[in-house]
Structure 1
Amino acid sequence: MLEQAAAVRDGELSPVELTEHYLRRVEHLDASVGAYLTVTADRALDGARRAERLLARHAAAGGAGLPPLLGVPLPVKDLDAVPGVRCTYGSAVFAGHTAPEDEEPRLVALLREAGTVLLGKTNTPEFGLPAYTEGRVGPPARSPYDPSR
């Protein structure tokens, strides 16, 4: 993640290219690994474009004052509410729940302030309690390196 942030700041990678790369990976692999419950592709691309505009405005200053993870795409576990995004807590009871716009946990606020680009919400055990992710909201999560696990 830190290497990606440095590459974005140095202009070696663009936030949009990086975000598109990860969205393609999610699209290609998620059906077999069940990693995501909610993908926020439009929101992610909007965030990546905002990061690019911010980079362009700060280019003359050599990136000084930019958030440390500007333009780095990542997901948030579906245990953390993101304003305006579906949040199930891994439970069928909350399958249709969308986090209110005024509800933002500290973790999510810190990631936003650090400049990250939200890709979506990853699968989670119901309420985060079991040690495995075979919930009732999405398919069981599997390792992309060994789908039998």
Structure 2
Amino acid sequence: IRNIITKNSNTVKYLACKRSPIGPSLLINVVKALILSVINYALEIYGHHSKSHLKLLAAPYISAVRRSLRAFPTSPIKNILAESGLPSLIDNMEDTTYKLYPKIILGSNLVLQDAFSSSSSRIGPPKIEHNAPFS
């Protein structure tokens, strides 16, 4: 999947050259069509993997978004994603996972419902990190 994303990123790189009359808004749509669609399709596979696997997919995605906006390489990633209107991969993974929950709960597959209920009962409350003491 990373190879497909890299090939599509090279397409965005070619379209975003200095002599190209294509604007950033059209290039963002190209990134959505070529790269984000492949990532969304693969999130079912990579969604439950470690963050290091998601980072492998994030590098060509971020570079394609950066090229489509013609931003400097040192620009912060959060600012680039905010300006483009595209989600980060972790946010995108959570959104697709949350969209899948009602389909599992309301579906007719009892095996999936049992697996979902057992996994949701094993998940404890989120941990609160205390970086600095309150004063």
Q: Tell me the TM-score normalized by structure 2.
A: 0.26
Greater fraction of residues in helix: 2
Greater fraction of residues in strand: 1
Q: Which has the higher contact order (CA 8 A, sep 6+)?
A: 1
